[in-house]
Structures are given as C-alpha cells and as structure tokens.
Amino acid sequence: MAKNYTIRVDLNNYEWLVYRVFKVNDNIKIRTLCSAILFSMYASLYSTTKLKYKNHKVKMGNHRLEELKLKKKDRLKLKYGDIWNFTIKVYKVSDGHNDKRISLLKGKSLGIIENCSSIKEFINMCYEVPDYDDIDIDLINAKLDKYYNNC
C-alpha cells in the first residue's frame, strides 16, 4: 500500500540552527530524496552523499524509499561531503500518496555554507550572514516542484 511520511531533517548537534520538515511519498527514489533535502539546504550537490539506515549503507541508484519500509520513529543518517551530517527522523506514516513527491512544510535557516572547513567555522559564519535564520518555504517548494516533482 502506498505511504507518505512526515520527516524532519536536522544538522547533527545543531538542530536549533538548521532543520527541515518534509512531506514525502514512499515512491520517491532514495537518491532523489537525498538530493532534494540537500537542495533545500542550498547545497551544491557536487559532494559525495551517503545514507545509512539501521547502521547499513543504503543503495541509492533506482531504489525507492518504499523498499526501506520505514516506521514512525525510524532514523536515517545522511552524510554529505566531509563535514555535513544529518539525521532524518520519521515523525508520521500515513496511507496514500500526496499530489507531490516531496514538499517542505517548515524549516529554519538558509541551510549550509559549503566552503567551511569545519562546523565551528560554519557556526561563526552564520552570525555574519544577515537574515541567516530566514527561510523562504514558498521559494524552496517552487524549486522542489520544478526539479523534483515534475519528473
């Protein structure tokens, strides 16, 4: 049966600074989900992405989220590049699919600043960027629609 999930994505140890909450259908490709999450964080998508579930590497390729058979409270670990580690938490599992494969419900901050050599440098830079805490959910959803929901 088709499922949709409400998930929260947190920057590890800095949940108070960077997070996103998404609604996502289980028929989305795992690679597409990871790409869309990072895209919403303004990542360039040029670095290596790895995903783990229950301490096992998840094959991305053409595999779909439904293959993981996620349940409420499940956690996945997303690693991007050398320093960016995120936790994906499943908050809700519902029957059926939404109109869109993925949509952003809420979040905090612009996302990540990739040219940092450490998380400490990133935190310091956040205080230097005007309006860093602001997030334009409508703009991100419009881009998600353009690049991820019209495939």
pLDDT tens track for 70-81: 999 999 999 998
CB 118 within 8 A of CB 110: no
Mean pLDDT of the chain: 91
pLDDT of residue 144: 96
Identity of residue 59: K
22 to each of 35, 37, 100, 101, how far by Cα in Å? Answer: 13, 9, 11, 10
> Which domains, from first to last, does the chain contain?
3-149 (3.10.290.30)
